[in-house]
Amino acid sequence: FFFLMIRRPPRSTQGVSSAASDVYKRQVSTQSTWDFQWCQRRSMGKESKSQFSLKKVKQYILVGRAKPVAGQKEEPKVYRMRVFAPNTVIAKSKFWTLMRKQKKIKHTGGELIAIHEVIENPSKSVKVYGIVLRYQSRTGYHNMYKEYRDTNICGAMSQMYMDMAGRHRAREETIHIVRTCVVPESKIKRAETKSFTNGNVKFPLLNRISRPPIKKFKAFARAKRPTLFLQQNNSDS
């Protein structure tokens, strides 16, 4: 989560850094302008219907501040935060949790100025997203850097949550996202991600099963035994 003043955030990475940490300092490329005009609701249309979906996590921008107190000389500072959450309710909750922890502004003593969902353009190209996160395990807190291939940041986030749950039994509530970035090919750290970014990647599909084309056609009682082998002309034999 970035806590920045509303005036002007930095538009470029700060100075020279080593290859490893450069990735961590990189700004998210999707946030090219800190303007509310790019937080526009676009019609998802066909894209959302046919989209193969994991747990849907959305990106929100929340802006809030402490309530102005009578007699206070200065206007309270406004803070903007980028939150990944499945809905606005959880997004707001996360916002106030961190406002409380980092800025000492409670929900009761503060006001939410704006909440916008950030909708990225539909899938056009595959990118590698690097996510730095901090999560709580049963014995302590750990930092992690993970890479995921996806077409948008929310997809990568969904992958991350699933991955963390599967590998580390870390639930969504215990994961805090520190930083996200789009990683260029030269800076990819993980071998698996690297192997898939190779343009010549190819593999056959094995262990195929046939299933009815629509869920509606799935029969629960059948007259015949199921066919276990799908006749596919994939090998020379």
Partner 1 sequence: MCIRDRYQRRVHGDLRNLMGFKRFVQAGRVAYINYGVDHGKVCVIVEVINSTRVLVDGPTLGVPRQVISLRRLALTDHLLKVAKGIHTKALEIVIKKEDLVKKIGESSWAKKLASQKRRAELNDFERFQVMMLKRQKAYLVNKDVAQSHGKKPKKESAKKAQQAKMDNNRIKHHFTLKSHQKKKKKKKKKY
Q: What are phi and psi of 110, to 5 degrees?
A: -130, 170
231 binding partner 1? (CB under 8 A): no
**Nearest to partner 1 of 1, 129 (CB atom):** 129
Residue 167 binds to partner 1 (criterion: CB under 8 A): no
- Is 165 buried (19+), middle (13-18) or exposed (0-12) by CB count in 10 A? middle
The answer to the question of residue 221 lying near partner 1 (CB under 8 A) is: no
Beta-carbon contacts of 1 under 8 Å, excluding residues fewer than 6 positions away, are 81, 82, 83, 98, 176, 177, 178
Binding partner 1 (rule: CB under 8 A), the pick from 49, 101, 216, 222 is 49
The yes or no reply on residue 211 touching partner 1 (CB under 8 A) is yes
Q: Which is nearer to partner 1, 43 or 237 (CB)?
A: 237
Rule CB under 8 A: is residue 166 a binding residue for partner 1?
no
Instruction: Tell me which residue of 151, 158, 147 sits closest to 57, measured CA to CA.
Output: 158
Contact 39/61 with Cβ under 8 angstroms? yes
Q: Report phi then psi at 99, rounded to 5.
A: -60, -40
The verdict on 155 binding partner 1 (CB under 8 A) reads: yes
Told to check if 218 binds partner 1 by CB under 8 A, we report no
How many residues line the site for partner 1 (CB under 8 A)?
Answer: 34
Backbone angles phi, psi at 235, to 5 degrees: -130, 165
15: left (phi over 0), alpha (psi -120 to 50) or beta: left
169: left (phi over 0), alpha (psi -120 to 50) or beta: left
Q: Which stretch binds partner 1 (CB under 8 A): 60-68, 74-82, 171-179, 210-218?
A: 210-218
Restricting to residues 118-137, name those near partner 1 by CB under 8 A.
Answer: 122-126
Site for partner 1 in 170-209 (CB under 8 A): 192, 196, 199-205, 208
With CB under 8 A as the contact rule, the residue among 83, 149, 164, 177 that binds partner 1 is: 149
Interface ranges with partner 1 (CB under 8 A): 46-47, 49-52, 122-126, 149-151, 155, 192, 196, 199-205, 208, 211, 213-214, 232-237
